[in-house]
Structure 1
Amino acid sequence: MTGAPTSRDSTTPVGKPLLGSSCISRSILILLPLTLLLPWVTASTLNCHKTCICASNIVSCSKMNLTKIPTSLPIYTAVLDASYNAITRLHAEWTTVELTKLHNLLLSHNGMYFISTEAFLYVTHVRYLDLSSNSLRQLDESMFEPLARLEVLLLYKNRISQIDRTAFSGLSKLQKLYLSQNQVSRFPLELVKEKTRLERLSLLDVSSNKVKILPIQELKALPAWIKNGLYFHDNPFACDCNLYNMLAHWHIRRFSSAIDFKDDYTCILPGPQKTMVAVFDLNRDYMNCSTVKAEDQETHLEQKLILNCDTRHRDMNKTWTIPGNVLVTPGSNHSAKVLSDGRLEIVSVQPEDSGIYTCFAMSAVLNETLYVTVKVHNFTLNGSNETLNTAYTTLVGCLASVILVLIYLYLTPCRCPGHSKAKSQQEDSIHSSVLSATPSHEDLGTKAGLSRHVAFIDPKDLQGQNGKLNPDAEEDLEYQERDSRRGRGQRKKSDAESISSVCSDTPIVV
């Protein structure tokens, strides 16, 4: 009798589970932890024995003839060296996991000419980036923005000719930037200028480029701690005394940028020959630029004076001494006080404030001493203006008086009697234009009928010693006697005030 098999006829024993289901369950339990550990497994599959050399958290893939950076880098990698390879392009997906411990990335000597703007999204903790000795031609907008912790950036010995003004935006902790040995033709002033500069940048190297013009006035206004690390030697500058003066001041202040590369600062003399000379020789052999000395500070009475302790390093402890080597301390009775930023303030300057002020700056790496010589003019600023106005007014008045005297002497027409006859008597002596005090017989006969006589008297005949009237003038007495014999009455002697100048328009009436 056939029929459907009963439960006993089943091949599966009663009360025992299926073999396949138990295997599946065990497989799931084993695979589940593996899936949770999958990122670790994929990030640690780098073969450190064949591709790179691993030493603790350092992965060195240098000189391995690589065309791309190996993927599956260990997540604990702190230093990655992929220099001296053939990695020409750095794509955004060069790493698929975030390397939070990576702080040094070395990619030099690869012939790299392209870097994606998203190449650094997974390595935001990098502090040292070496891209030197490659073939980069331009730095695009916000290229390094993800690297907010970057402190040192090496870009020297590339072919960079274009730098976007925002290429380094976001690098608030960048301290050193090396751009030497490129083809940069514009000095990146925005990196060091007030309000736009990188806050922590203390070294900028743009040496050995194609910069022809420097913003000298803007560079002079920079703090000393920036000037100390500003390198721009070996550029085709035009020779100029302003350039010499700036570098000479930096040399006096012992800035590293002027001391270490003094012989490498060159410029091109004007002219068709394009002769290249040393900038520090412009004061002697070439352009006769004036010798630079340390600058003094001048002020006036009752002015507010602030002295800056402009040190070569940032964040230094500063103390001051005033003339007489007196230390300025908080709460002292001196008019000077040290401000919170290290500057010295004198509220109302007095004559005794003239002299040498000394700033002592100290830090863990440098001790620096600065001297500032102050000269106080012995007048207030407003008083000097009034004095200048008074002197100017006096000078104008004197000039006007001289002009009037010259006009009176040389431009006043001469209306002396007999002036019409003077043309025919130019060969006479220089006194021929002056009428003699003794009239001739012809004149007496002509003027006999006149009741009043006009006589022109030579002042020489009336003056004695020291310009006074000579009371013993013989000619005057004879003339008076002659008039008395003719019945005309005795002629009175004229006073000194009644004598007019020679050729005066008003004759002397006697």
Structure 2
Amino acid sequence: PATMSSPAAADTVWPRAAKLFLLLLQLCAPRASPQPHRCPNTCICTSDLLSCSRQTLRWVPQALPPTTTTLDLSHNALTQLHDHWLAALPHLEALHISHNQIRDLSPRAFHNASFLRHLDMSSNHLQAVERHYFEALVSLEELLLYDNHIKRVDENAFAKLSDLRKVYLSWNNLTTFPFHAVQGLGIHKLRTLDLSSNSLSSIPVEVLAALPENVGNGLYLHNNPIRCSCQLYLMLQRWNQRGFSSVKDFSEEHTCKVSDNVPRSLIKFLKHRDMFENCSASTEDAHLSHLEVVVGQPVLLACNSSNSSLPHAATTSMWITPRQEPIKHPGNSNRSLEVYPNGSLRITAAKPW
């Protein structure tokens, strides 16, 4: 005869079957993938490149993808970088922050960026290069700081950057530079130190002349009002003869200032090297005098070099035109400017600058 299971047995079987069914569903269901890293709305993201350029950003976007190796924040309106802001980007190698409005850097702005190799902070408003600015960037190879407002570089600003190969500081307001600290720039790796187009008035020639060839070849000093001296001329002439790019490629842009007291007395002294053919004697500045003249009339500017303390045979009188052209005896080609043997200058017809 047929038998029927008791209600108590059925009550035991069904809960077990339900649990087994739920367990099977969990095992068979596809596992949820991790949430993808979202790209900020104002940026363009690729596998490892993040571009947030030209978005008028006033602050750095949040939640940047941690896979980023290159970050472009150029051409925005950033005024500061907060401490540890790169902590979420452990693989960052290149950072572009040019054309912003950054005036200075906090002590820990670049902490957590030990893999960074390329940093472009050109065309900002930096006033100086302080010691703490970049000391955490121990892997840095290229540093672009041109076209800022930099007036001073701390002598230890690059002391910890032993891998540094290229430093660009042109088009700033530097009047001095700690050249003796160049020895701390990983001197065997340094290939470019661009100090052109600043306001350097003097350089320690004896220090620079002793630098290794790789440093001299990449030390750019053109377009600076450096005081003329035979030591400066002979050093640059020697570099030019050795084919150093820093001199050879910019020979017409190497200027020196004849006198600190005379405005617009710059001369392109490598272009007019014949003016320094007897470069072994010292130079003397003529005393300034003021003279009122009539436009179009002849003018005689007296300069009696016979009163100089230098021997007459070693004395060369030279005048610098407003176009930075040197004029010496007997004068220019069309004789509109005549230089007499005693150093006096005759201008055939005075012209305004």
Q: Does 1:172 align with 2:162?
A: yes
Contact 1:191-1:198 at 8 Å conserved across structures: no
In 2, Cα distance between the equivalents of 1:129 and 1:51?
22
How big is each residue's C-alpha offset from its partner over 1:352-373, in whole Å with a ceiling of 9 and x where there is no partner?
A: xxxxxxxxxxxxxxxxxxxxxx
The corresponding residue for 1:320 is none
Residue 78 of structure 1 aligns with an amino acid whose one-letter code is T
Q: Secondary structure at the match of 1:284?
A: helix
Residue 182 of structure 1 and its aligned partner are, at CA, apart by 0.9
Q: Secondary structure at the match of 1:105?
A: strand
Q: TM-score, normalised by structure 1?
A: 0.47
Residue 282 of structure 1 and its aligned partner are, at CA, apart by 6.0
Q: What are structure 1's unaligned runs of at least 5 residues?
A: 1-12, 18-24, 291-510
Q: Does 1:45 align with 2:45?
A: no
The corresponding residue for 1:263 is 252
How big is each residue's C-alpha offset from its partner over 1:457-492, in whole Å with a ceiling of 9 and x where there is no partner?
A: xxxxxxxxxxxxxxxxxxxxxxxxxxxxxxxxxxxx
Contact 2:68-2:89 at 8 Å conserved across structures: no
How big is each residue's C-alpha offset from its partner over 1:197-249, in whole Å with a ceiling of 9 and x where there is no partner?
A: 42421210111112111110111111111110111111111111111111111
Aligned partner (choices 180, 202, 206) of residue 190 of structure 1: 180
How big is each residue's C-alpha offset from its partner over 1:378-435, in whole Å with a ceiling of 9 and x where there is no partner?
A: xxxxxxxxxxxxxxxxxxxxxxxxxxxxxxxxxxxxxxxxxxxxxxxxxxxxxxxxxx
Q: 1 or 2, which has the higher helix percentage?
A: 1
In 1, Cα distance between the equivalents of 2:54 and 2:273?
50
Q: Secondary structure at the match of 2:124?
A: coil
In 2, Cα distance between the equivalents of 1:277 and 1:129?
35
The corresponding residue for 2:113 is 123
Q: TM-score, normalised by structure 2?
A: 0.67
Contact 2:162-2:185 at 8 Å conserved across structures: no
Q: Does 1:68 align with 2:59?
A: yes
Count of equivalent residues: 270
Residue 90 of structure 1 aligns with an amino acid whose one-letter code is L
Higher relative contact order (CA closer than 8 Å, sequence separation 6+): 2
The corresponding residue for 1:347 is none
The corresponding residue for 1:163 is 153
Q: Does 1:240 align with 2:229?
A: yes
Contact 1:66-1:87 at 8 Å conserved across structures: yes
Q: What are structure 2's unaligned runs of at least 5 residues?
A: 1-10, 16-22, 281-353
Q: Does 1:225 align with 2:214?
A: yes
Aligned partner (choices 187, 193, 213) of residue 202 of structure 2: 213
Segments of 4+ in structure 1 off by > 6 A?
13-17
Residue 240 of structure 1 aligns with an amino acid whose one-letter code is S
Residue 174 of structure 1 and its aligned partner are, at CA, apart by 0.7
What percent identity do the matched residue pairs reach?
39
In 2, Cα distance between the equivalents of 1:68 and 1:270?
47
The corresponding residue for 1:150 is 140
Q: Does 1:139 align with 2:132?
A: no
Contact 2:150-2:173 at 8 Å conserved across structures: yes
In 1, Cα distance between the equivalents of 2:88 and 2:103?
24
CA RMSD between the two structures: 3.6
